[in-house]
Amino acid sequence: MSTKRLRISDSNIRKYLKSDAVTRLRDERYALELRFHKSRESATWWLIDKRKHNGREGRPNWERLGTWPRLTAGSLFELLPLKIARMATGTDEIVTDWYKFGDCLNWYADHVESSHFLSKERKSTVKSAIRRHLLPAVAELPLAGVRKHHIKDQLIWPLHNRYSLRTVKSYFAILKAAFNQAVREEHLTVNPIAAMNFSDFISKKIPPNEGRLQPDMVTVLFEQLKAEPVQHQVFVLMQLGHGTRITETRLARWRWIDWDEGLLRIPASYTKNREALTLPLTWQMKNLLRQYRATQREGQLFLFPNAKLTAPMCKDTANSIYASLSGGEWTSHHCRKLARSRLADLGIDKFVGERILNHKMSDLDQAYIHTTTETLKRKALQTYHNWLDLQGFLFFHGKTEGRS
């Protein structure tokens, strides 16, 4: 093991990387050492702290500062005087390999991709927001010295020129989440945007999403559905009838249906909030599903298989069904909104409606509500499906009475 004492620079590092005889570089100016890795392609920076602790001399403390070449000598020596000053005053912060917003965002994209707790759709949404919107806007912003006007001028305002306030706020939330997670895992000791809130940039209250599929449009929708393939008909009717999300619906398996009990059980791993959802099947819905099942080959696993019958319908296909029916004016989510609003209009208790749509319960509800609502959910859905019959649902399930 050989140590070379010199004025460390990036050019000197590259020079001695070629020499197997030198394993360490010791800087002439600072108590700093660079140790080469066996690969001779990278190295680790170490700062030697020789301060007395509790008034006593002790063994030097070796602090890892980062790795070269990600943390270059030029970058390190810009920050090192501040680092040493903070050590002397007791306000030390760790020197990180990250110096720009892009470092944190790229790390967070990898973090999201490796998560076992996020759905594929959520991973795709976050990574797309990072790649298409956040990195192009703020990747080069330095972690040190960023101010609110930098975020406003480079991110919020440009996004607001192209997207709705709700969308801009969602992208800003992903930026906040990236830095919050980085601090939790101690990649950073200071969050440069911790004190920033969306209201600092835009104080206007964001109105709730308008339900673009209105009750008086349902009859026309049913007429349109008559010309669609049976798979498309049932897919839309399932979402409209239960208010389920598009992913929950397109991934549905026949084994989730308990015909004897008249229940559709969606496992927690397939729901957005990771809470299992049980939906009572009205006699109308059981009739519809039994007739639909008779059109499929025996042993089919999925309610809505792809063209090869080997996997569930893909998200693009599902979205295209609604794009065709609505001419791009509304989406599957508006079926969900219509179901929720009609339940309320028909006098269904708010809590029952929320449980049907599987909205996440508040901590208070989770703590104090222990009783099952299955009977109330069944009555609520029966009332709603009776209303749908008046709009034309009867055509698709084909019966006017008892019922299964």
Q: What is the pLDDT of residues 139-173, one digit of tens each?
A: 999 887 888 999 999 999 999 999 888 889 999 99
Work out the pLDDT band at 375, boundaries 50, 70, 90.
Answer: confident
The mean per-residue pLDDT over the stretch 21-48 comes to 89
Q: What is the pLDDT of residues 68-86, one digit of tens each?
A: 887 888 888 877 776 676 6
Q: What are phi and psi of 225, to 5 degrees?
A: -65, -30
- The CATH number of 101-200 is which of 3.40.50, 1.10.150, 1.10.155, 1.10.1060? 1.10.150
Q: Among 173, 161, 23, which residue's Cα sits nearest to residue 108? A: 173
pTM of model > 0.85:
no
Q: Is the predicted pLDDT of residue 351 greater than 50, yes or no?
A: yes
Contact 342, 387 (CB under 8 A): yes
Task: Indicate the length of the chain as a whole number.
Answer: 404
The two tokens of residue 26 are: 């010791």
Cis link prior to 403 (omega < 30° from 0)?
yes
What is the pLDDT at residue 368? 47
Beta strands in 114-157 (DSSP E): none
Residue 1 has pLDDT above 70, yes or no: no
Determine the pLDDT at residue 404.
46
Of 386 and 49, the one with more pLDDT? 386
Residue with tokens 């790390």: 107
Cα dist. 40→17, 34, 273 in Å?
A: 6, 12, 47
- Strands in 277-280's sheet, in edge-to-edge order, are 257-258, 263-266, 277-280
Note if the bond before 69 is cis, omega within 30 degrees: yes
The region that residue 141 occupies, defined by phi over 0 for left and psi between -120 and 50 for alpha, beta otherwise, is beta
In this structure, what DSSP letter does residue 256 have?
A: G
| DSSP 8-state code for residue 357 | T
User: Quick check: 389 pLDDT over 60?
Assistant: yes
Whether the pLDDT of residue 178 is over 90: the answer is yes
pLDDT one-digit tens code per residue, 305-334: 999 999 999 988 999 999 999 988 889 999
Q: How far apart are CA 373 and CA 369, in angstroms?
A: 10
**Mean pLDDT across the chain, nearest whole number?**
87
What is the residue extent of each domain of the chain? 3-89, 101-200, 215-397
Q: Is the pLDDT of residue 390 over 50?
A: yes
Question: Which residues lie closer than 8 Å to 197 by C-beta, 6 or more apart?
Answer: none
- Residue 216: pLDDT band with limits 50, 70, 90: very high
Q: Is the pLDDT of residue 235 over 60?
A: yes
Please say if the pLDDT value at position 244 is more than 80: yes
CB 300 within 8 A of CB 254: yes
Residue 240: CB partners within 8 Å, gap ≥ 6? 218, 221, 335, 338, 339, 388
CB atoms within 10 A of CB 58: 11
Rg of the chain, C-alpha, whole Å: 30
Give strand ranges (E) for 37-94: 43-49, 61-68
> How are strands ordered across the β-sheet holding 43-49?
3-6, 24-27, 32-36, 43-49, 61-68
**CATH of segment(s) 215-397:** 1.10.443.10
- The answer, yes or no, to whether residue 363 has pLDDT greater than 60, is no
